[in-house]
Amino acid sequence: MSNTVAVVGHGMVGHRFIEALRARDTEAHWRIVVFGEESDAAYDRVGLSGYVGAWDRAALALPGSQYPDDPSVELHVDQRVVRIDRANRVVHTADGGETGYDALVLATGSRAFVPPVAGADTPGCHVYRTLDDLDAIRADAERALATASDSTPVGVVVGGGLLGLEAANALRLLGLAPHVVEVNPRLMPQQVDTGGGEHLSRMIGELDIEISLSSGVTGIEPGDSGIRVTLADGTVVDAALLVFAAGVRPRDELARDCGLAVAERGGVLTDEHCVTSDTDVYAIGEVAAIDGRCYGLVAPGYATAEVVADRILGGDAAFPGADMSTKLKLLGVDVASFGDALSTTPGALDVVVSDPIGGTYAKLVLSDDVSTLLGGVLVGDASAYGLLRPLVGSTLPGDPVSLIGPAGDAPALGVDALGDDAQICSCNDVSKGQLCAAIADGACDVAALKSCTGAGTSCGSCVPLLSQILAAEGVEQSTALCEHFTQSRSELFETVRACGIRTFSGIVERFGTGTGCDICKPTVASILASIGSGHILDGEQASLQDSNDHFLANIQRNGTYSVVPRVPGGDITPEHLILIGEVAKDFGLYTKITGGQRIDMFGATVDQLPLIWRRLVDGGMESGHAYGKSLRTVKSCVGSDWCRYGQQDSVRMAIDLELRYRGLRSPHKLKMGVSGCARECAEARGKDVGVIATEKGWNLYVGGNGGMTPRHAQLLAGDLDDATLIAYIDRFLMYYIRTAERLQRTAPWLDDLDGGIERLRAVVIDDSLGLAADFEADMARHVANYECEWKGVLDDPEKLRRFVSFVNAPDVPDPTVAFGESHGRRVPVLLGSPTLPASS
């Protein structure tokens, strides 16, 4: 006769316990009865924010969580356990039911912590914990948007940790303006250090998300637009709703009521075997206080589930400790921490590479002899996380600075640097050796590795490393754009071009899966723009754009924006020079002549952008697309009009090219140059498209670029007349746009092209694909349909609504923006910086 194990709680850890026990108990000695308080069976709570937008509960359901074909598992959802009778070993449910047990597993998890604030139970206040919570938040958000006047309704988030920033992103996706309130002096205080927190705050603040640090909420009361929230400094925020995301507390009330020992700070007290003060009762997941400490991540929770499954079947497994590493993308910003991220080890040394202009921060924590990696923090670029985290506790394979320095300086650190015992997936405790063994047994792609090892099936942060291990083991890799599209970017381009669907939701529904991600959304936005699908801020397309395209301007380090009107070929009239000067003077902007022969104006706040562009557009100027993955500039020398060496009119050609290709969206930014003779004053051979005059016409060079890895362009054709030159450039650009991969510049694209420059000549000059006329027709459509994007915004009141510093106070200037002077130049001053005095 089978014994009965009762499981109270059917979340991710409870489900993992059931899977582990059933996998080991092949003779079905144990019958499992599980009670879930929610109406849904176990779902992916780590991916809770993925529910926003899709609103599909089934998409988050954990595989097999209803056990339809397992007679040994009896699942009760929407069934709350209200009492445990330890003396008689019986659990009592809210409907009066009773279930006897031989072993009891408490997997009750945590509840959201609501600070003791007056008015915390006011209608419009929510927590961020369950699918039902998100449905309630959605209902209030939609109600607020339906009744909003001119400004975007505000959603206050109490808590600036992992959960708080996820909640802020959810409110943003719902159409609200998030305002994050954090009691600590930095965001994510448990994961990132002071330097990383400063970078994170600045980058998230640049997304027009209000942040109040070292603050809290002191009162909540009903208001005209929903609720009125009073902050610690006395500020009152009129909000549509409020979300408490200030941490969690273990759900230990059942344990307390039945007399089990609890830890000083909450949680069911257990030993290293997850056994409570009653040897028939175990605790796993967030409710378990192992030797007095609770762990709030899924990886240690899964470890406790495995331990108890082993113990119930007579094993001696013990909790192995917890990897508290985290990696995620919050609001488009990569953040990761691993090991001793906050440098608590005695004698630990920090190595920091900080790039506030590029928006990246990286810190490695090393042993006192600078040989062993103890931990680290990555903000802005977490691409090194997958390889660095498994190296914690190991000897570094190279100079620590180079491991986190600019990509061009880094050594070729790869998976070969990891030993077979390196833990690749911390959530499911999968080592490199286990993955290599699975590959040897026939797992030939990421999906197969996930299926047979469990790696990458929880938080997903190790998935890029799975691909690298496959490649290192000689397995050919997929060219899929991301997990939502099996096609490469070039394949998806042709699919979208042919199908006629012009919305991301329609494209992903027909040709992909899920709801999309930070890779495929901007990629599809770029594809739609490349084939001419209206203004990039029209309808659904607006939500797909990255930060710069979202406001048609480049975000600068202090949260202001730069304004760059187009100056075709560097040719400018005195009237336009005067106009730029007047605008810069009136708005207090710093001006700089760029390397692309135009004038950049720095220091505009988001609410000033439409005012500035109204004057520029009315004066005959247009967007310079300095913010887009598109044509930036066509640089020129003075050519044959003025230069005694000039052989052709390079200024006229540069103007013609820039006006032809302006606004052309592409996989990466494009730059061009036109030189009037071989002396190359326009540096045309350092550009994606370079044109150099000859006695007979023009030489055409392609595939060059400056930047971190400079490349000289290669000669495609020589001595061309004007019409042939333009036809060849049309074909080259369209061939590149159709076939390049995401964020691939023309130089590496040409390197990857099978046959290289000879292949390109065959396509562009000899029309080997028979697509020359098609390429030219596509370009002609682009030229005919071009409109200045900023003019499109100025003519559309709906688009103009996004350009305010504070949606709840559109006329209030941003108090975080300050300026100073350095050597006679106007420069930004970051708040708290002691280096420069703020200008008046």
Dist CA 211 CA 559 (whole Å): 13
Dist CA 305 CA 81 (whole Å): 20
- Give mean pLDDT in consecutive 10-residue pieces for the chain, a chain of 840 residues: 91 96 92 96 87 84 90 95 97 96 97 94 96 95 87 93 90 91 93 88 83 95 92 94 95 96 95 96 97 90 95 93 74 82 89 80 89 90 81 80 60 68 79 89 83 78 78 78 88 88 89 86 89 80 75 81 92 95 94 92 91 95 91 92 89 96 94 93 94 94 83 92 96 95 90 86 93 94 92 90 61 62 71 41
- Exposed (0-12), middle (13-18) or buried (19+): which is 77, by Cβ within 10 Å? middle
Nearest 5°: the CA angle 419, 420, 422 is 65
- Beta-strand relationship, 825-829 and 268-270: unpaired
272 contacts 285 by C-beta, under 8 angstroms? no
Q: What is the CATH number of the domain that holds 436?
A: 1.10.10.1100
Instruction: Judge if 633 and 743 occupy the same domain.
Output: yes
Instruction: Judge if 242 and 199 occupy the same domain.
Output: yes
Of the candidates 480, 497, 501, 498, the residue with the CA atom closest to the CA atom of residue 489: 480
Of the candidates 451, 444, 447, 504, the residue with the CA atom closest to the CA atom of residue 476: 444
Establish if 437 belongs to a structural domain: yes
Of the candidates 357, 348, 467, the residue with the CA atom closest to the CA atom of residue 400: 348
**Token pair 């108890």: residue:** 308
Dist CA 259 CA 248 (whole Å): 22
Instruction: Judge if 187 and 142 occupy the same domain.
Output: yes
Q: Quote the tokens at residue 275.
A: 């056994």
Dist CA 434 CA 813 (whole Å): 57
Establish if 299 belongs to a structural domain: yes
**DSSP E strand boundaries for 59-162:** 73-76, 81-85, 90-93, 98-100, 103-106, 110-112, 125-127, 154-158
Dist CA 178 CA 180 (whole Å): 6
Establish if 520 belongs to a structural domain: yes
**How many distinct structural domains can be found in the chain?**
5
Query: Which residue type occupies 630?
Result: S
To 10 degrees, the CA torsion angle through 39, 44, 46, 49? -70
Establish if 742 belongs to a structural domain: yes
Looking at residue 407, its pLDDT comes to 47
Query: Which residue type occupies 321?
Result: G
What's the maximum distance between 2 C-alpha atoms anywhere in the chain?
Answer: 104
Question: What is the value of pTM for the model shown?
Answer: 0.58
Instruction: Judge if 755 and 651 occupy the same domain.
Output: yes
Looking at residue 430, its pLDDT comes to 86
Tally the residues of the chain. Answer: 840
Instruction: Judge if 98 and 64 occupy the same domain.
Output: yes
Instruction: Judge if 433 and 503 occupy the same domain.
Output: no
Instruction: Judge if 736 and 753 occupy the same domain.
Output: yes
SS3 string, 316-367, reads CCCCCCCCCCEEEEECCEEEEEEECCCCCCCCCEEEEEEECCCCEEEEEEEC
Q: Which of 295, 312, 329 is the last residue of a domain?
A: 312
Strands of the sheet containing 373-379, edge to edge, are 326-330, 333-339, 373-379, 360-366, 349-355
Dist CA 195 CA 185 (whole Å): 11
Instruction: Judge if 215 and 135 occupy the same domain.
Output: yes
- Exposed (0-12), middle (13-18) or buried (19+): which is 677, by Cβ within 10 Å? buried
> Would you call 61 helix, strand, or coil by DSSP?
strand
Q: What is the CATH number of the domain that holds 79?
A: 3.50.50.60
Q: 280-318 burial, b for 16+ CB within 10 Å, e for fewer?
A: ebbbbbbbbbbeeebbbbbbbbbbbbbbbbbbbeeeebe
Instruction: Judge if 632 and 757 occupy the same domain.
Output: yes
Establish if 593 belongs to a structural domain: no
Q: Which of 740, 767, 782 is the last residue of a domain?
A: 782
Looking at residue 839, its pLDDT comes to 36
Establish if 556 belongs to a structural domain: no
Instruction: Judge if 264 and 185 occupy the same domain.
Output: no
Query: Which residue type occupies 76?
Result: H
Establish if 347 belongs to a structural domain: no
Q: Quote the tokens at residue 343.
A: 């440098």
Instruction: Judge if 672 and 778 occupy the same domain.
Output: yes
Domain that holds residue 431: 421-478
Angle between helices 489-499 and 520-530 (to 10 degrees): 50
Q: Which of 197, 223, 246 is the last residue of a domain?
A: 246
DSSP state of 557: T
Instruction: Judge if 648 and 775 occupy the same domain.
Output: yes
Please say whether the dihedral angle defined by the alpha carbons of residues 625, 629, 631 and 634, taken in this order, is positive or negative. Answer: positive
Q: Which helix (H) or strand (E) holds 496?
A: helix 489-499
Establish if 817 belongs to a structural domain: no
